[in-house]
Amino acid sequence: LSEIVIVGAGQAGLQTAASLRQFGYEGRIRLVGEEKGLPYQRPPLSKAFLKADSDPESLALRNRDFFEKQKIELLDGERVASIDRQAGAVELASGGRLDYDRLVLATGARNRALPVPGGDHPDLLELRSLDHALAVRDRLGSAGSIAIVGGGYIGLEIAATARGRGLDVTVVEAMDRLMPRTASPALSAHVEGVHRGHGVGLRLGEGVARIATDGEGRIAGVETAAGGLIAAELVLVGIGILPNDALAAAAGLETDNGIVVDSCLRTADPSIFALGDCAAFPAPDFGGGALPGRIRLESVQNAVDQAKCVARNILAEPAPYSEVPWFWSDQFDMKIQIAGLTAGSDRQIARLDEEKGRLTVYCFRDGHLAGVETVSNPGDHMACRRLMAERLSPQPAEVEAAGFSLKTWLQ
Ligand code: FAD
């Protein structure tokens, strides 16, 4: 092996390059990224970065020196336009051509557009990239109100930050609870209470019919499906993401809500791997049986751990990816942490310490622990990660018993 090309210079692409070097690969690495500048962290974009005038460079995952020292060629501001699998090369939109022995697709995802009249208004805000965050931060500084379409993690983090900056904030969510796709009802209810307590307006179970504009075409708020107007100077849409899998599809690789890979993160083409937000992979078995079908995870942990797996699998005998998923979100003073795959669980046992604002929700599937959601309870979160890594599970009856503690159970 002497030529590895990585498409996408985000969390997953950069980590793949770094891990290849760490595991001893000495050949050429080219990391091609559409965005200009150094690869950066996205999580702060909806959190600390929106609060204060911090420098975009503080978000960089590695400094320039790292790329030089590690001999990782960063081609930033370059988009890969197509893959010529026959020749083993990618073509750049700017006209160049890069040969590869192994190709890694780490193309991430893009925001889903709001499919209603006005959903393409040029002043609608969204958040995925640093450029988006700079625009949102700027607008938050001069506006008095914002309506956020979508009550998922990104929308709620922005709601908390905007509220902290003194704006009137309304979140419109089509389902009847917050974070409906991923959180248990107990977690949704707790987060709802905290947001309401801070004065965030929550309109649950309300669809958006159109983006409202004034006589001059300026954004005036959102009109709900029931006909009401939520007046706001700014409107931000955060209704989920779509994997960037068109490049793979155009090259004849299978896609199905993401680039389809096997348990070792390989596509059907043995020289092409895919990982991170763009990859659909078979759900590992964390005990109690594997989930049917494929999953796609949108988290830093998944991007980083899959990158280490891909780097190892390129250089050595391929082994399946099996890391326990985990994720965090910061909203007001809540540190939300989720370990395991809680979506699709069939039984949940919630423990709330109201005084301390701590919550732990144990989520079971077929009597086996599928994951644990915590709010401001990092001890339980870490214990769950350890336990799941060993494929252990307490019985639901044990968890229900008075005084149950995961940490004690583990000892
Ligand atoms: P990305 O980081 O999106 O990188 C993909 C890169 O590929 C992009 O730069 C893109 O421009 C580039 N690209 C795409 N196509 C091409 C092409 N054809 N040619 C060249 N380049 C291309 N996760 C958490 O765990 N906790 C959090 O609190 C959290 N908060 C978040 C907040 C925000 C605002 C956002 C947007 C995400 C957050 N995430 C969080 C998710 C996390 O950041 C992502 O899961 C992670 O960045 C995925 O890494 P990736 O490399 O797969 O994709």
Indicate whether 142 and 221 sit together in one domain.
yes
Q: How many domains does the chain have?
A: 3
Indicate whether 209 and 119 sit together in one domain.
yes
Domain boundary among the residues 202, 220, 239 is at: 239
Indicate whether 99 and 117 sit together in one domain.
no
The answer to whether position 324 is within a domain reads no
The answer to whether position 274 is within a domain reads yes
Q: Are 104 and 213 in contact (CB under 8 A)?
A: no
Mean pLDDT, residues 290-317? 95
pLDDT in tens, 311-338: 999 999 999 999 999 999 999 999 999 9
pLDDT over threshold 80, residue 290: no
Indicate whether 16 and 86 sit together in one domain.
yes
The answer to whether position 322 is within a domain reads no
Helices (H) and strands (E) in the chain, counts: 11, 25
Amino acid code (one letter) for 270:
P
The answer to whether position 215 is within a domain reads yes
Indicate whether 158 and 225 sit together in one domain.
yes
Average pLDDT over the chain, rounded to an integer: 96
Domain boundary among the residues 217, 239, 261 is at: 239
State the sign of the Cα–Cα–Cα–Cα dihedral 253, 256, 257, 261. Answer: negative
Residue 340: name the closest of 325, 360, 328 by CA: 325
State the sign of the Cα–Cα–Cα–Cα dihedral 138, 40, 107, 34. Answer: positive
Q: Which of 91, 261, 265, 300 to mutate to test the pocket of ligand 1 (most atoms within 8 A of CB)?
A: 300
Of the candidate ranges 199-208, 329-338, 386-395, the one whose mean pLDDT is the lowest: 386-395
Centre of ligand 1 to C-alpha 276, Å, is: 8
Indicate whether 148 and 214 sit together in one domain.
yes
Indicate whether 100 and 133 sit together in one domain.
no
Distances (CA, A) of 91 to 7, 95, 97, 213, 248: 11, 7, 5, 42, 13
Indicate whether 76 and 154 sit together in one domain.
no
Q: Does residue 232 sit in helix, strand or coil?
A: coil
The answer to whether position 328 is within a domain reads no
Ligand 1 binding site (Cβ under 6 Å of any ligand atom): 7-13, 32-35, 42-43, 45-46, 79-80, 106-109, 127-128, 154, 244, 247, 276-278, 298-301, 303, 327-329
CATH number at residue 129: 3.50.50.60
**Structural domain span for residue 16:** 3-110+242-315
pLDDT in tens, 155-184: 999 999 999 999 999 999 999 999 998 999
Indicate whether 232 and 204 sit together in one domain.
yes
pLDDT in tens, 219-266: 999 999 999 999 999 999 999 999 999 999 999 999 999 999 999 999
Q: Are 311 and 299 in contact (CB under 8 A)?
A: no
Mean pLDDT, residues 115-129? 97
Q: Which atom of ligand 1 approaches the CA of 11 most closely? A: 51
Q: Are 262 and 282 in contact (CB under 8 A)?
A: yes
Report pLDDT for 399.
95
The answer to whether position 77 is within a domain reads yes
Domain boundary among the residues 286, 315, 344 is at: 315
pLDDT band at 218 (very low <50, low <70, confident <90, very high): very high
Indicate whether 223 and 163 sit together in one domain.
yes
| Residue whose CA is at the smallest distance from ligand 1 atom 44 | 299
pLDDT over threshold 90, residue 10: yes
pLDDT over threshold 70, residue 288: no
Percent of the chain with pLDDT over 70: 100
Model pTM score: 0.97
Indicate whether 231 and 280 sit together in one domain.
no
Indicate whether 53 and 152 sit together in one domain.
no
Centre of ligand 1 to C-alpha 198, Å, is: 29
